[in-house]
Amino acid sequence: MPDLPKKQCTGCSACFGICPNGSIGMIADGEGFLYPAVDRAKCVGCRLCEDVCPVLRKPAAKDCQGTRVFAAWSLDGEVRRRSTSGGIFTELAKAVIGRGGYVAGARYDDAHLVGHRVIASEWDIPLLRQSKYVQSDMGAVFREVKELLEKGRPFLFAGCPCQVAGLLGFLGRDYDNLLLCDFICRGVNSPKAYKKYLESLEKQYRSKIRRVWFKNKTLGWNRFGTRIEFEDGTEYFADRDTDPFMRGYLNYNLYLRPSCSDCSFKGFPRHSDITLADFWGIRLRDGSVDEDGGTSLVMLHTQKGRELFESIRERIFQEEHTLGEALPFNQCAERSVLPGKYRDLFFREIDRSDFFELLHQIMEKSDGK
């Protein structure tokens, strides 16, 4: 197992993927985050796990000379509406699959938990669309990516910056047919906190959840909300300022992974070919268009990234901007978020508390009521 302090481990699973005899497993700790655990009876001391760890052996960043920045969105109104920001990931994925390629990204399973999966059909792109706001279980996806890359087809991998770096560490080199897409990450949330949130909603609505839809645009992109659909036909909706899960994340920093508070993968240059985000604070020169439908920030770092973006130009609105215009409203591109004052209290109480009741108590404490 990598000789890495626990608080620095990102849970990328590169060590799990590279272990030649299955001596490393990814086990959830008391906060619900996955960490590597080694079976000493199986370990042969090859230290491959240390070689691929992106924190211990940070892979070389891409040559990001001349990063270009765009505000963009899909011209397909339904794609844009159902996407987190402007639907650019969907258009990039369509382009890669249209060339006979593969795409890997985070998707919900039948229990609404999040894991990385590989798709090869345009019909499956909606499964990878939208923000999930919880750390994705990588499973054995790195091994699958490598096997498919060896076939020579184009492959688009999308993930957090640490997951992209983890994949590069696992592969040991870049591939000409591999396109890496990361996003500006504020930090990944605890799967345990997320599950407790869903359990509290099911208890409150007395029905099983059918669909989870974070960053729903019922009130527009700038006032995105959380929409939960239940099997009995009822719905829960709350905007980002009132939904307890989003407030615990955005306002109180209660359930971020410890490594996210001192992230090793901020800033520039990046390990990706393309970085996507919401273009918060955008002021478009073309005042005739509506950015509130969702506007993607697109950073093109490499020639591979620029060529893929160019291939979708007929399907998107685009307007070129500068890093100086983008970064003031996306400070998490360069800075980590510190843990909240009541983070330890949250995890001490969450196993014996209702999520909504615990968040209410913490909000009262924080607001001095």
pLDDT digits (tens, 9 = 90+) for 39-48: 999 999 999 9
DSSP H helical segments within the chain, as ranges?
14-18, 48-52, 77-82, 88-98, 125-128, 141-149, 161-171, 191-205, 244-250, 303-310, 323-326, 343-349, 355-366
Residue 333, token pair as written in the block:
């591109």
Residues contacting 11, CB < 8 A, separation 6+: 26, 33, 34, 35, 135, 138, 188, 257, 259
Residue 80, token pair as written in the block:
């844009």
Residue keyed to tokens 């770092």: 301
CATH number for the segment(s) 6-52: 3.30.70
Residue keyed to tokens 């700790």: 29
Q: Do the beta carbons of residue 276 and residue 89 sit within 8 Å?
A: yes
In this prediction, residue 243 carries a pLDDT of 96
Indicate the domain borders of the chain: 6-52, 68-188+256-333, 191-255+339-366
Angle, nearest 10°, between helix axes 303-310 and 88-98?
90
Please give the average per-residue pLDDT across 18-33, as a whole number: 96
In order, the DSSP letters of 296-323 are EEEEE-SHHHHHHHHTTGGGEEEEEE-H
Please give the average per-residue pLDDT across 31-35, as a whole number: 97
In this prediction, residue 299 carries a pLDDT of 97
Confidence of residue 369 (pLDDT cuts 50, 70, 90): low
Report CA-CA distances (Å) from 48 to 55, 59, 145, 224, 231. 14, 14, 18, 43, 46
Residue 184, token pair as written in the block:
């500006």
Q: Do the beta carbons of residue 160 and residue 49 sit within 8 Å?
A: no
Q: At 237, is the secondary structure helix, strand, or coil?
A: strand
Please give the average per-residue pLDDT across 58-87, as a whole number: 92
Confidence of residue 2 (pLDDT cuts 50, 70, 90): low
Residue 56, token pair as written in the block:
């211990």
Looking at the chain, the whole-number percentage of residues with pLDDT higher than 70 is 99
Please give the average per-residue pLDDT across 281-304, as a whole number: 91
- The secondary structure of residue 157, as a DSSP letter, is E
In this prediction, residue 4 carries a pLDDT of 86
Q: Do the beta carbons of residue 128 and residue 158 sit within 8 Å?
A: yes
In this prediction, residue 367 carries a pLDDT of 76
Give the number of other Cβ atoms within 10 Å of residue 41's Cβ. 6
* pLDDT over 90 (residue 366): no
